[in-house]
Structure 1
């Protein structure tokens, strides 16, 4: 059964009618063809009054045959995520490598991809300390046990998200000017694959390289060079999973790699297989 599009999905027409779906494809999903068999992914936009805090909501559900364990690999965006999952709810910082989730039985997780810079308004913990780790989200949601139970038992997608929004709305705080600017820079990198170097980004932003580095470390936890590399690797995986013909040499050049070998090394390290074999597995 395809849990991304299957008939048994709990995503129904009432959910779609009440809340806007995120239409842009998730480029961080590794093995999208296999993921469609393993799980259901739905993403929703927040209400307008919460856009200073939330980029979007995501809901994942899975149902694996008894006795089996399946692995889903994700190449995450540089945002922090507030995740509600039974017994595992947490505020997750950016992940430098691939995030690997081993799925068994059945379950669901409700996630909030937070806007870049928003975590800094709720905690004194430096963003760099949140990289590759997670912390209790009580600064955002209050009593975690109660929040988790209420959200996951709320019912359909719409009800769960409404519950999260109701929980977060009283704690909403305005992003400061630097956080807003860094968020705009990250969005610029994601939207323009021609941005390949920190120097190029500095020229586009009108700031110095050093200013970019300091601001990104403070509000993302990772430098602009890492973010540029993450987005171009996501783009490589996304295009290799597509049906359009392409040459690996050309792809490497377009994404700013020195040569095909550099792309291959980066790909194997994070995706777990060579670009050519990954493409064959998807097409």
Structure 2
């Protein structure tokens, strides 16, 4: 499996976020890498509140968090399913988050009793999904002073969970990776046929193991690419980008981007330039 990426794809205003928090990614223990993509750690100590905005990946996240003003405040854990819209997190004071991002398609081996679509659009206390977690679990993850200790605690908890190899999860992971990497994947029917699946079988696989439809995944990665282009370039040809991403025209790209991010591509690009 590949090492954690260092890009900021999906983060709205990445420079703003990185100016307000310490953000790191680390690899999980080798036995976990089949289904866990990376760990992500964030610490903050802010003089004024700050809101971060993310266009999430089609992935489930397990987080252990501490939002208190001092170490006496209780840490807690959550499981967050695929977020369908823009995810906003308001940060204030001091705090930290230690998260595990499962590979898109990789969560169900840890929670096989329900399709991953059950968690879509929801955030639940960790014990509702993993009864093995306790207050001591959250505390063991967030209290170490260094990254090594936090990563070791995440490894220990995840390695303690039952997880049987799941060929269907492996297939879902591979298909999502192909969609992410290949801009020519534009139509669900064509993609299913190329992989030797019926559209219905592909849709069932994604509902059970990814939590969203293959069409949703295709559209989300289009928005990620448009967000990346808008934030890093000052000369984006939106009509050409829309065509490259498989949109019928520029108007469809503008509509999807605005609906997801909250501002038009041009307005976002102007804001990104002003912040550079």
- Same fold (TM > 0.5): yes
Aligned with 1:58 (options 35, 40, 65): 40
CA contact (8 A) 1:141 1:168 kept: no
Give how far 1:171 is off. Answer: 2.0
Alignment of 1:27 with 2:9, yes or no, is yes
Q: Does 1:274 align with 2:254?
A: no
Please name the residue that 1:113 is paired with.
101
1:223 aligns with 2:213: yes
Q: Which moved more, 1:114-123 or 1:79-88?
A: 114-123
Distance in 2 between residues matched to 1:150 and 1:29, nearest whole Å: 28
Match of 2:49 in 1: 69
Q: Normalising by the residue count of structure 2, what TM-score does the alignment of the two structures yield?
A: 0.89
Query: Is residue 43 from structure 1 mapped to residue 31 from structure 2 by the alignment?
Result: no
Match of 1:125 among 95, 114, 132: 114
- 1:79 is aligned to 59
User: Aligned partners of 2:106 and 2:237: how far apart in 1?
Assistant: 39
Cα deviation per residue 1:121-163 (whole Å; 9 max; x = unaligned)?
3332332221110223335472331111111111211210111
Structure 2: distance between partners of 1:40 and 1:120: 30
Q: Is the 8 A contact 1:52 1:174 kept in 2?
A: no
5+ residue gaps, structure 2, are: 67-74
Q: How many residues align?
A: 262
CA contact (8 A) 1:141 1:147 kept: no
CA contact (8 A) 1:50 1:172 kept: no
Root mean square deviation of aligned Cα:
1.8
Equivalence for 2:87: 99
The equivalent residue for 1:89 is 77
Shift of 1:101: 0.4
Deviation (angstroms), 1:172: 4.7
Q: CA deviation at 1:75?
A: 0.7
SS of residue matched to 1:193: coil
CA distance in 2: counterparts of 1:36 and 1:116, whole angstroms? 25
SS in 1 for 2:11: coil
Give me the whole-angstrom Cα distance separating, in 1, the residues matched to 2:171 and 2:10: 23
Structure 1 residue 22: deviation in Å? Answer: 2.2
In the superposition, the TM-score normalised over structure 1's length comes to 0.87
1:258-273 equivalences in 2 (<5 Å) = 258-273=248-263
Moved more, 137-146 or 202-211: 137-146
8 Å CA contact retained: 1:46, 1:54? yes
In structure 2, the partner of 1:9 is none
Query: What secondary structure sits across from 1:229 in the alignment?
Result: helix
For structure 1, which runs of at least 5 residues remain unmatched after alignment? Answer: 1-19
